[in-house]
């Protein structure tokens, strides 16, 4: 019987994530390393090198071509639509989804000096930072987590912002000066969770992966992804959503903003956990009614 072939990006974080899944499945699998477009092109901002799926398309192609059997992705890299022939088989238990501040001394966004330089490769973070602190100077920052930290250490920047979950998985939580609350900075859709993707007709593997699925995380991410899909968001639009279960209900926050933070729409809804997808769609409609489409279209015109 052929061993399970697991596709992964080559970064240290991706390898840690993939190996954790393999270990949870009993440790018997072949790891297949695949370079994606997002990994190859590191000298330009993500929004300038393509749309959704920059870190997963080549891995999904390997799935469809049957060169691998299972793909392990960071959920935040997943577009809202899954290609025909593939299926999202499981959502792992989510780690802390909050963004983290890595700084030279400041313990919060408010304590950064006036006009401070802060670096991030995310339009979502850029928009929320500038909405809160229009005086900040934002530098673009690309690369894997260790590369970003090295660039920060060699720079004169006051701070950078990274996903806390990635730092924790790499054993680098000591670099975290503080976390942003989800009210201060709404996370990326799916941030902190892993997506396990298979071919849609591989029923045996999908059944095997059910033991790794975390229902609460799945419901929260389902709502977030429905919100993302309705608004047609991606790395080219500053957008985020975060769902969590509170007192038996699903609470979903969402935002859409201008890159410079000058326009910023934020809403939230609550609803039954069983209606996660409907909740995400309803919140997206709220955002559209509040003018989110104008913000999205303005961004699209800038990129043309």
pLDDT in tens, 204-225: 999 999 999 999 999 999 999 9
At 36, the pLDDT band (50, 70, 90 cuts) reads confident
Q: What is the pLDDT of residue 303?
A: 44
Question: What does the pLDDT read at residue 302?
Answer: 42
pLDDT tops 90 at residue 202 = yes
Q: Which residue has the higher pLDDT, 219 or 39?
A: 219
Where in the sequence numbering do the catalytic residues fall? 77
Domains and CATH numbers, the chain: 1-94+193-213 (3.40.190.10), 99-179 (3.40.190.10), 214-304 (3.30.160.40)
Q: Give the H/E segment covering residue 28.
A: none
Return the pLDDT at 255. Answer: 95
Whether residue 37 has pLDDT greater than 90: no
Q: What's the Cα-to-Cα distance from 7 to each of 11, 61, 62, 196, 202, rounded to whole Å?
A: 12, 10, 8, 10, 15
Report pLDDT for 295.
87
pLDDT in tens, 119-150: 999 999 999 999 999 999 999 998 999 999 99
- Of the pLDDT bands very low, low, confident and very high (cuts 50, 70, 90), residue 298 is confident
Nearest to 126 by CA among 237, 253, 290, 288: 237
Q: pLDDT band at 28, cuts 50/70/90?
A: confident
261-277 average pLDDT score: 96
> Would you call 1 helix, strand, or coil by DSSP?
coil
What's the rounded Cα separation, in Å, for the pair 302 and 304?
A: 6
CA distances from 229 to 220, 222, 239 (A): 14, 10, 11
pLDDT value at 64 more than 90:
yes
Terminal Cα distance for the chain, rounded: 50
**Predicted confidence (pLDDT) at residue 257 exceeds the cutoff of 80:** yes
Q: What is the DSSP letter of 137?
A: E
Q: Tell me the pLDDT of the chain averaged across its residues.
A: 91
pLDDT the model gives residue 299: 56
């Amino acid at each position: 019987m052929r061993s399970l072939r697991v596709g992964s990006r080559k970064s240290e974080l991706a390898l840690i994530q993939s190996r954790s899944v393999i270990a949870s499945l009993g440790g018997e699998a072949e790891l297949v390393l695949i370079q994606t477009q997002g990994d190859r092109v590191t000298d330009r901002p993500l929004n300038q090198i393509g749309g959704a799926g920059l870190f997963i398309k080549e891995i999904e192609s390997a799935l469809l071509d049957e060169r691998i059997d299972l793909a392990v992705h960071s959920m935040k890299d997943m577009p809202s639509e899954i290609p025909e022939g593939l299926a999202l088989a499981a959502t792992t238990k989510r780690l802390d989804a909050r963004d983290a501040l890595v700084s030279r001394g400041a313990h919060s966004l408010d304590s950064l000096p006036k006009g401070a330089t802060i670096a991030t490769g995310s339009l979502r973070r850029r928009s929320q930072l500038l909405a809160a602190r229009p005086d900040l100077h934002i530098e673009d920052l690309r690369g894997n987590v260790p590369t970003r930290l090295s660039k920060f250490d060699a720079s004169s920047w006051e701070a950078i912002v990274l996903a806390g979950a990635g730092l924790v998985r790499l054993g680098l939580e000591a670099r975290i000066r503080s976390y942003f609350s989800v009210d201060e900075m709404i996370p990326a859709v799916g941030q902190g969770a892993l997506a396990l993707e298979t071919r849609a007709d591989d029923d045996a593997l999908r059944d095997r992966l059910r033991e790794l699925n975390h229902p609460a995380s799945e419901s929260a991410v389902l709502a977030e992804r429905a919100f993302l899909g309705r608004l047609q968001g991606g790395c080219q639009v500053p957008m985020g959503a975060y769902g969590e279960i509170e007192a038996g209900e699903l609470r979903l926050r969402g935002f859409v903003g201008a890159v410079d933070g000058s326009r910023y729409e934020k809403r939230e809804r609550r609803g039954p956990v069983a209606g996660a997808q409907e909740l995400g769609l309803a919140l997206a409609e709220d955002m559209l009614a509040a003018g989110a489409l104008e913000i999205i279209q303005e961004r699209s015109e800038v990129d043309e």
